[in-house]
Amino acid sequence: MFGGLLAAHDRTAFAWYGYSVSPRPALSFASYEASFDGFADLGHMPLEDAAARIRADGVDILIDLAGHTRDARLELFVLKPAPLQAHYLGYGSTLGADFIPYLFTDPVHTPPALEAGCSEALVFLPETFMAAPPAPIADRRFTRAECGLPDDAFVFADFNAHYKLDPRMFGCWMRLLAEVPGSVLWLRDGAALAKNNLRAAAARHGVAPERLVFAPRLPRADHLARHRLADLGLDTLHHTGGVTTVDALWAGVPVITIAGATHSARTGASLLAAIGLPELIVGDFDAYATLALRFARDREWRHAIADKLARQRASAPLFDIGRLARNLETGYRMMWERYQRGEAPGTIRVPRSAP
């Protein structure tokens, strides 16, 4: 996803520099290096030397892509190696750090109730803060039998990492299985302990453990192809799907989500808004369950939503990585113009660009 964004950026009006700050050699950025005009591995440099290297490159706007995640080295930004500093994408929420004064977002991801809690000035992108280039889907036609799915069952699917599952949402999913006879929940594979715990939790809800079906890891193109066996994608709550939701939508599988109270609980809502399916965004568990049950019981409506998704995929902002690149570039220009006028960081609303 990030590689596609780099490839879509304007090479004539901007120079693009990339820096790896992780000390772990397993995190290789070799595949990205060719997309930058300059690239440096700063992972083992002292902070002062790393900041000096960025200053020597003449960087005007330094974008943090890590936030409060492993190996982020946010302390590098305390040294202010660039005149303007912002966070985008990787953490996707306020950092609470006065040395990173800007945060890129969109109006769905950051509604007014959340805006007040952000330490940063917000750069609102007009459609979505996240987009993906079209991914190849294998020609292979999977059968339900080879994926361990019953032929005549409604298939609920969630391919998020198991750490995103919480007891309340899992209980909601078990309610769906109880109310839709024969239905199954299709989950990503994982550690034996995790799968056993999930099966045991299903049994505690009165659901036969074998109604949880685990999908083994496959190459992405094959994984996207087998998505088509699912009838409905179920988003998680506190940490909603990002790439997992994008994959399902690109494969043609509708996803429902709850627009939660935090940034990490609103990524799914932002993605669905960006593909023009706001009717799949709800506000609470009861509405979520009601919507899921309508998918399971109303075949005509389910097909209408799937048809709408298929029609809108090709032109929706969610899969227009070039449009996102232009919007980001406009945001960078607006930030820089504000800086050159001597103005303090403030809210920026990027105008909608032409499709």
What domains does the chain contain, in order, with CATH numbers? 2-131+320-349 (3.40.50.11380), 145-318 (3.40.50.2000)
pTM of the predicted model, to two decimals? 0.94
Question: What are 39-63's pLDDT values in tens digits?
Answer: 999 988 999 999 999 999 999 999 9
pLDDT of residue 34: 79
Helix (H) or strand (E) holding 302: helix 299-312
Task: Decide if pLDDT at 27 tops 60.
Answer: no
Residue 333 has pLDDT above 80, yes or no: yes
Among 14-23, 171-180, 232-241, the minimum mean pLDDT is found in 14-23
List of residues 6+ apart from 37 with CB closer than 8 A: 11, 15, 16, 17
pLDDT score of 26: 47
Q: What is the pLDDT of residue 263?
A: 96
Reduced DSSP (H G I as helix, E B as strand, rest coil) percent helix, strand, coil of the chain, to 5: 40, 15, 45
pLDDT tens for each residue of 134-158: 899 999 999 999 999 999 999 999 9
Task: Quote the pLDDT of residue 33.
Answer: 80
Burial grade of 280 (CB within 10 A; 0-12, 13-18, 19 or more): buried
Check residue 352 and give its pLDDT. Answer: 86
CA 3 – CA 343 distance, rounded (Å) = 33
Please report how many Cα atoms fall inside a 13 Å half-sphere around the Cα of residue 31, on the Cβ side: 6
CA angle 211, 303, 260 (to 5 degrees): 65
d(CA 224, CA 155): 15
User: Does 179 have pLDDT greater than 90?
Assistant: yes
